[in-house]
Amino acid sequence: MAKIKAVHPVVELDGDDMTRVIWQFIRDRLVLPHLDVDLKYYDLGVQSRDATGDQVTADAAQAVLRYGAGVKCPAIGPDEARVEEFRLKARFRPPAATIGAVLGGAVLHEPVVIGDLPRPFPGPATRPAVVARPALDDQDGATELRVPGEGTLTVTFTPTDGAGSEPVEREVCAFPGPGTALAVHSLDAPARDFARAVLRHGLERRFPVYLSTRNTALKRYDGRFRDLFQEVYDAEFRADFERADLTYEHRPAGDMVAEALKGDGGWIWAGRGGHDGDLRSALVSRGFGTPGLMTSVLVTPDGRTLLAEPAHGTVTRHYRLHQQGRPTSTNPIASVCAWSRGLAHRGRLDGTPEVVRFADALVRVCAETVEGGQMTADLALLFGPGQPWLTTTQFLEALEENLLKALAAF
C-alpha cells in the first residue's frame, strides 16, 4: 500500500526514560512506514532542555500553536535527585507548565476503552469518562516561602490603574514559629478559556459537562472560578447544549466520585488541576484499567490546536531495568493513542479522511490486540495471575503485525 499523505506538518516533542524508548518504536515502525508526514522535531529530553536553558520547550510550544497539531512524549519534571543525576544547571519547571502558558485552554485525560478488561467498578466499559483541568495550572505560578520563625505573613495588592485606587493588604497568618507558605493566583481570562475549551469538547463528544470546585471553602477563589464557568456557559454555549439535549452542572466533588464509581462513563468532569486533578485522573484511570491506558490532549479554547500525549509519566522504574539490559513489560497503548489523536486532528484540520482513518486504525489495533489475548503485565494482572503477558518489545511487535493486517484491508 502506498504511503498516506499528510498535507501539513505535525510537531513532535520527544521525551525521557522508558517512554522515549517506546516512542521511537512507534514513530519508526508504526507511523512512518505508512504515513508521509513532515514531523517538526523538538527534543524535550531533560539534557536537551538543560543545554538550551529550556528554550527548546518554549520553541516547541510556539510550533504547536503555529501548526495546530502536535504529539508529545512524557518528559521529566526534574526533582532534586534528577538534577543531581543529570548534573543540570537549573531545576526548570515541567514542560507542561511552559506549554500550557503558551497554548492555554484545557487538558483532557481520557482512558482507552477496551471492552473485555476486568474492572473494579460494576458494568462493562462502553464510553470513556473524561477528566478536564486547566492547561495553565494555578500552582504552576505559585510562590513558595520558608518561614524562618515567629512573625506575621501578609499579602498586598498594589493597583496600577490610576489615582484613587488604594493598595489592599490582608493578613495571612501570625506564625508562632517556623513553617511554610504558598501563594497562588488565578486569572479570569485563562479561566474563561478553560471553560470554552471544555464546553466545546462536550459539544463535540455529545457528553454532559460537570464542574467541581471547593467554592464552599474558598468562596472568593473557587467561587469566582465557578461563576466564570457559568458565565461562559450561559453566554456562549447554553443554546447549543440545550439543542443537543446536553447538560452543564456545578456539582460537589463527592457526587462526582459516586458518579465515577458507577463506571459507565460518557461525561466530562472538570475542575482545577494540582493534587485534586491528579486524584480525579487516577480514579478514572483505575476504573477503566490501568494508567497505561490513560491519554491526554491539550486543546485550545477555539478547538483548533491540539497536543496529544500519554497521561502517565516517563516510567523511570522500568527504564532502570532497560538500562541494565533486562526485559520490561511497559504498556505503550497511551503513547500509541497519543500519536493517533494528534494525527487524527491533523487529518480533520486538513480535510484528509485517509489520515483520520489511519489514526483510528492505530487505536483499534491496540484494543483488538488486547482483546485477542496479547497484553503487557499491567493488563494481565487485571485478569489474574494465570494470564500470560508479553514484554514491551513483544507487545509492540504484536501491534506492528496486527497493524499491517488492518492496513491491508484499507
By CB neighbour count within 10 A (0-12 exposed, 13-18 middle, 19+ buried), where does 17 fall? buried
Mean pLDDT on 358-366: 97
Give 204-219 pLDDT, tens digit per residue.
Answer: 999 999 999 988 888 9
Least confident among 142-146, 192-196, 338-342: 142-146
Query: In angstroms, what is the C-alpha Rg of the chain?
Result: 22
Any idea which residue has 499491567 for its cell? 378
The three cell numbers locating residue 132 = 478536564
Distance CA 132, CA 127 (A): 16
Tell whether the model's pLDDT for residue 335 goes beyond 90.
yes
Please give the pLDDT value at position 356: 98
Tell whether the model's pLDDT for residue 364 goes beyond 70.
yes
Please give the pLDDT value at position 263: 63
The three cell numbers locating residue 12 = 513532535
For 172, the enclosing helix (H) or strand (E) is strand 168-175
Please give the pLDDT value at position 188: 94
Please give the pLDDT value at position 123: 61
Mean pLDDT on 187-200: 96
Percent of the chain with pLDDT over 90: 74
Taking each continuous run of H as one helix and of E as one strand, the counts in the chain are: 15, 16
Closest by alpha carbon to 8, among 362, 358, 348?
A: 348
Residue 156 one-letter amino acid: T
Please give the pLDDT value at position 22: 98
Any idea which residue has 479554547 for its cell? 301
> Whole-prediction pTM value?
0.93
Check if the beta carbon of residue 49 is closer than 8 Å to that of residue 14.
Answer: no
Percent of the chain with pLDDT over 70: 98
Tell whether the model's pLDDT for residue 347 goes beyond 70.
yes
What CATH number should be reported for the domain whose range is 1-117+289-410? Answer: 3.40.718.10
Residues 6 or more apart whose Cβ sits within 8 Å of residue 262? 121, 122, 123
Tell whether the model's pLDDT for residue 30 goes beyond 90.
yes
Per-residue confidence at 254, pLDDT binned at 50, 70, 90?
confident
For 57, the enclosing helix (H) or strand (E) is helix 55-67
The three cell numbers locating residue 41 = 522535531
Residue spans of the domains in the chain: they are 1-117+289-410, 143-183, 186-287
By CB neighbour count within 10 A (0-12 exposed, 13-18 middle, 19+ buried), where does 10 fall? buried
Neighbours of 147 (CB within 10 A): 14
Mean pLDDT on 378-388: 93
- Summary mean pLDDT of the chain: 93
Instruction: Give the three-state DSSP class for 106.
Output: strand
Tell whether the model's pLDDT for residue 365 goes beyond 60.
yes
Q: What angle, 0 to 180 degrees and rounded to 10, lies between the N-to-C axes of helices 95-103 and 55-67?
A: 40
Which residue would you say has higher pLDDT here, 21 or 85?
21
Least confident among 73-87, 205-219, 277-291: 277-291
